Amino acid sequence: MKKYRHVKYSEQKIDAISLATGEALFTDDFTKPDMLYLAVLRSPHAFARIRELDDSPARELDGVVEVFSHKNVPRVMFTTAGQGYPEPSPYDKALFDTLVRFAGDEVAIVAAETEEIAREALNLIRVDYEILTPLLDYSKALNEDAPIVHPEKDAKAMIPVPFHPEKNLAAEVNVEVGNFERAYKNSSGKVEATFTTPITSHCPIEPHTAMAYMDEMARLVIISSTQVPFHVRRIVSRILDIPPGKIRVIKPRIGGGFGAKQEIIVEPFVALTTWRTGRPSRLRLSRKEVFTSTRTRHGFTITMKAGFEPEDGKINALSMEALENTGAYGTHSLTVLSNSASKTLPLLNKIENIVFKGKAVYSNLPVAGAYRGYGATQGYFAYGQLIDMVIGESGGDPVEYYLKWCIKAGEGSPIFRAIGEGTEGVEMTLDTVGLPECLKKGADVFRWQEKRNRYSGEFNSGRRKKKGVGLVCMMQGSAIPKIDMASAYMKMNEDGSFNLKVGATDIGTGSDTILAQIAAEVLDTSPDKFIVHSSDTDHTPFDTGAYASSTTYLSGSAVKKCAEEILKQIKKVGSEILEVPEKELDIRDGMVFVSDEPHRMIGYDEICTYAMYQRSQFQIQAFASHVADKSPPPFAAHFAEIEVDTETGLIRVLDYVAVTDCGTPINPVLAEGQVEGALINGISYALIEDYHFNEKGALLNNRFSRYKIFSAMDIPPVRVILVDSEPDPTGPFGAKSIAEIAINGPAPAIANAFAHATGKRLYKAPFTPERVLSALTSK
Amino acid sequence: MNTLFTVNGRKVRLSLHPGQTLLRVLRDNGYTEVKCGCEEGECGSCTVLLDGEAVPSCQILAMSVRNREITTVKGLMDMDGTSVIPEAFAETGAVQCGFCTPGMVLSSYALLKGNPAPSEEEIKLALDGNICRCTGYIKIIEAVKLAAVRMGKK
């Protein structure tokens, strides 16, 4: 395997010291004189019509500068989803509406001289609501008599996809490969089960924040905690009717996203305020608002059926029927639904008859959106358990089963083509599949066979505490093929340093660092020679943004191409100085040398100085864009060992091994960090995280003490392993994605371990003690 | 109004309104290294040291701590000249988005001052009030162990 010099190396994150010492600036750390502070008036009702809104008492309060509502802001339909254009999410939202669709929906905003005054003024806005019967149970959304969440006539889909708000149907996907019904009927083994997943919160520790100001050229500048600066510019431009050229969006350091900041939620409000008043403005959401009114993971109910051969577990027919709750607005409803199938169903690609029927429905609950895992998390909770049930019925071993039936290198799946991102998908055969290595390595490290045998009799033992082991295998994707685009620009400085400007958005993942490493590998110079500037719509080229596991694979490829172009120019100048043809030159450690006479060399600094000042002067600079034809999946195998207390219902994770194939890890420590973070989030999701509402649809647990997420004391022993996998031929230096996949594993792996320990199934996440006890007493 | 405080070893005059929290006052006076994550005392991003003890500054009335030593992460750099903890965080990969990190660093410092060789359980307990969603805490715990070793050698 090729020896790399700067990638596959755990370079320290370039902003780590600056962050750890508090020097790095986040959105809320910027300030401007004369700034206005915003506060948002939110609906206390899950579903209501605003009969009358009187903001005059608020306007009379000293220090209030403006109040915005449907009364003075033109109605423009849009989607808050920060996706490519035209978006696959429906345009079903106006900044302010007379119909409020969940408890927490925006009614008005106040701009005032201080935060305190802005908040006080909220109490002075008089709103007369006609309270409507809300739709709180999404399983009833398609009933004839269900309240209609979007009765308005101007909601529309931007691409030709099923969209029927008059029936509460936000999106629908139906796909069949082969003939499921016939194959299911003819199968002698059959399993069927229904799985339910909760509504959960991303919990980035930095709340959603944006600020805006007018610069000295009367342009609108927005600083925002966003994953998608270019989509922010486009969407704000449309809503407020300001040309994109008049808007600049700056992304400073971002305090975590996980999909929550792939949404245009706070930016329109500061943009509106500053554009109308000419004054700087800021909106930082409270933690309660982040929980209630930003975005959540879509709750799913998935019914799966498999028809199989009881002798060897060969699955002939597989069906997945998904009902997705998108909440009050349809952001990401179609694509999350699609991904619940497209990221799961190709895994066991020998199944010839597959049907997927998915419906996304509205409800009067908080708005769902993109969340790390993006439908695959919900999909694998069902898929990973159903496959385990088939294996259980046919008496095989899960490791052997997956090794036998999983997709292999050189193979494809009809699902890749059948399901895309709102349109048809992209056919592909996989160049690399490291899942067999993940399984073998994981089984060995975890001592799978030994533990599985040891606990095989637990379920009918009389012990109070029962132990078991479970396994799940997964794949994700790397960027959205033929849709997402990334670009990079680079110029050289006379000390041999380079300005690397990328649209890619580092939200804490370390992408600035790994992009520098990729450039360093091409140019064989130290990564600290790259001055990385990410995401400023004025000063960096376009990139769709930090989502869909795309930055390393897609933006990394753009950076690689760009650096290769720079290398050509460096060699050209080097050839002129050394008077040797370019093809006889090589590079090493920031020097160009003659291949056969290595002592004849010249440094990058001299090359750049020559190009700038001496002969045939020019700026050594390059740009590149990249669109991928494929979306090579990373693979993972997760192994969980748990102990179930059959009296208290508590599940304790005793050991967890996560083995991942991400192609070449550009920076192994940062890649591990992605897995660890996703994994702990996933275990927290599996065991404790869930939204609770009162009977009127108001969120009850909208703070960290009520919506508990794992803290340091809660983490179980986990071991994260990256297998030394085949480099992917389409990724930069063989890299595939890593950020999302691990979050999908814990819920099904722990549920499978529970089945091994107790003989019972957990069909509903999270696995609270109540649910565990009820599963234990079920038939 | 303006009031005298001791921040990072220096007497400084901070402008404030009575009733404001220490978090608000510090941030409004330019100490933006103190992060605001929840303002409910539940995330730990706003951790500062009060006479060496790690506390959430959003739960403290600024006026009540006029006579105490307030230390932010930037002040830590001057105390004992220690950049050991931030460096250990950076080296082990314990910094992802970094929003929780200043608070984590201060909680780690408070721990290591009183307990130079903490067990893993003691580290977890000391960091339990600081929430992180990015790292899963694994590399953070590693960072504190590394810092403990290095501070012990000093």
User: Among all residues of chain B, which has the CA nearest to that of A24?
Assistant: B33
Instruction: Give the pLDDT of residue A1.
Output: 55
Residues of B in contact with A9 (CB under 8 A): none
Instruction: ipTM value, please give it.
Output: 0.98
Burial A141-164, CB ≥16 within 10 A → b, else e: beeeebbebbebeebebbeeeebe
A712 to B35: CB separation less than 8 angstroms, yes or no: no
The rounded mean pLDDT for chain B is: 95
Relative to beta strand A485-492, strand A498-502 is antiparallel
- Whether the predicted pLDDT of B154 surpasses 80: no
Nearest by CB: A711 against B73, B128, B139: B128
The answer to whether the bond into A766 is cis (omega within 30° of 0) is yes
A704 to B33: CB separation less than 8 angstroms, yes or no: no
A21 to B129: CB separation less than 8 angstroms, yes or no: no
In the stretch 32-91 of chain B, residues with CB closer than 8 A to chain A read: 32-40, 42-43, 45, 72-74, 77, 83, 85-87, 89-91
What distance in Å separates the CA atoms of residue A583 and residue A326, rounded to the nearest whole number?
Answer: 57
Which of A15, A30, A506 has the alpha carbon at shortest distance from A254?
A: A506
pLDDT band at B81 (very low <50, low <70, confident <90, very high): low
User: Among all residues of chain A, which has the CA nearest to that of B47?
Assistant: A22
Q: How far is CA A188 from CA A55, A314, A355, A660, in A?
A: 68, 11, 19, 35
Give, rounded to a whole angstrom, the gap between the first and last alpha carbons of chain A. Answer: 53
Q: How many CB pairs under 8 A join A and B?
A: 178
Instruction: Give the pLDDT of residue B82.
Output: 73
Instruction: Give the pLDDT of residue A522.
Output: 98
A701 touches chain B (CB under 8 A): no
Residues of B in contact with A546 (CB under 8 A): none
User: If DSSP codes are grouped into helix, strand and coil, which group holds residue B11?
Assistant: strand
Report field, pTM of the whole predicted structure over 0.95: yes
- Whether the predicted pLDDT of B80 surpasses 70: no
Q: Which helix (H) or strand (E) holds A571?
A: helix A556-578
B99 to A205: CB separation less than 8 angstroms, yes or no: yes
In the stretch 7-26 of chain B, residues with CB closer than 8 A to chain A read: none
What distance in Å separates the CA atoms of residue A239 and residue A74, rounded to the nearest whole number?
Answer: 9
How many residues would you count in chain A? 779
User: If DSSP codes are grouped into helix, strand and coil, which group holds residue A211?
Assistant: strand
Q: Could you report the average pLDDT of every consecutive run of 10 residues in chain A (779 residues)?
A: 88 97 97 97 98 98 98 98 96 98 98 97 98 98 98 96 97 97 98 98 98 98 98 98 98 98 98 98 98 98 98 97 98 98 98 98 98 98 98 96 98 94 88 98 98 94 96 96 95 98 96 98 98 97 94 97 98 97 97 97 98 96 97 98 98 98 98 98 98 98 98 98 94 97 98 98 98 94
CB atoms within 10 A of CB A643: 17
Beta strands (DSSP E) in A45-102 are: 48-54, 64-69, 99-100
SS3 content of chain B, % helix, strand, coil (to 5): 45, 15, 40
What distance in Å separates the CA atoms of residue B139 and residue A19, rounded to the nearest whole number?
Answer: 15
Nearest by CB: A508 against B32, B97, B124: B97
